[in-house]
Amino acid sequence: MRWEDLDQEPCSLARTLAVVGDRWTLLILRDCFLGVRRFDVFEKRLGITRHILADRLKKLLSYGVLYKSPYQERPLREEYRLSEKGLELHSVILGLVSWGDRYMSDERGAPIVHVHKSCGHQIHPITSCPECGEAITAKDITLELGTNWDNSLGELLPTRNT
């Protein structure tokens, strides 16, 4: 599996990593969810080179995760905003943040807490079944091939070691 061909792999995770699978892209997305929209602010907050930042933003634009929106007419200046597709990455980012809060924090705890606007309580992501609402973990799931897939492309579902 070659990094530059990930978006062609018969694996949703590999295809997703083709878009968001590097540290700079994830940090750019984090900042987007924190309200950052302008190139110079990303650059300053992240300490990233202009070249790398421009490359990552271009990729996020090309995949429709971000879109440009003008905030000034003369001269034209644009900011980066999360598209609907980009907003749907919130649960992914929140899951990574929650894992980091639990396993990578120091004695001070989480640097930022996420609070539900409606009830005012701190939230932690939970994966649940959309049919019955039961909370689930990796141990509660079985894997099956998607309707339009077969194993002709190789072992999509390798046998688990037990």
* Cα(30)–Cα(46) distance, integer angstroms: 11
CA 146 to chain centre: 23
Burial 65-78 (b: 16+ CB within 10 A, else e): bbbeeeeeeeeeee
β-bridge mates for residue 68, sequence order: 80
Structure tokens at 11: 């694996």
DSSP-derived secondary structure letter, 7: G
pTM to 2 decimal places: 0.86
pLDDT digits (tens, 9 = 90+) for 61-111: 999 999 999 999 999 999 999 999 999 999 999 999 999 999 999 999 999
Quickly tell me which residue has 């062609």 as its tokens.
8
Protein fold of 3-107:
Arc Repressor Mutant, subunit A (1.10.10)
Q: How many CB atoms lie within 10 A of CB 5?
A: 10
pLDDT digits (tens, 9 = 90+) for 18-35: 999 999 999 999 999 999
* Cα(70)–Cα(77) distance, integer angstroms: 6
Quick one: pLDDT band at residue 143, thresholds 50, 70, 90? confident
Quick one: pLDDT band at residue 10, thresholds 50, 70, 90? confident
